[in-house]
Amino acid sequence: MVSKHQYDEHLASNRYFDRGFGVEAAKILPGEYFVSSQGGLLVTVLGSCVAACIRDGDAGVGGMNHFMLPDDGGRETVGTSARYGTYAMEVLINQLLKMGAR
């Protein structure tokens, strides 16, 4: 897959069939996100990181991100790493909106 946008590189690519739940699953690692309009399971493991899940039940879309820090502490002029919550939340919300979420 050729990345069209910078945020595409943060899309979770670890997908598998979860035999325990009997559904397709996506494992979201730090700095990644996943958005879908299909039913399924979103999986992550948290330590000191944060994950945010957002779902629009009316539009039938939802997603999750996984980030490590709230922001880059002012070190970069534009923090475009999904490791940072400010960017990770923007990416997640924008992708949900593109899929019809309100």
Q: pLDDT 10s digit of each residue in the chain, 102 long?
A: 344 555 556 889 999 999 999 999 999 999 899 999 998 999 999 998 999 999 999 999 999 999 987 666 666 654 566 677 888 899 999 999 999 999
Is residue 10 within 8 A of residue 47, CB to CB? The reply is no
SS (H, E, C) 65-97: EEECECCCCCCCCCCCCCCEHHHHHHHHHHHHH
Supply the residues annotated as catalytic. 49
pLDDT in tens, 31-46: 899 999 998 999 999 9
Q: pLDDT at position 2, please?
A: 41
What does pTM read for this prediction? 0.81
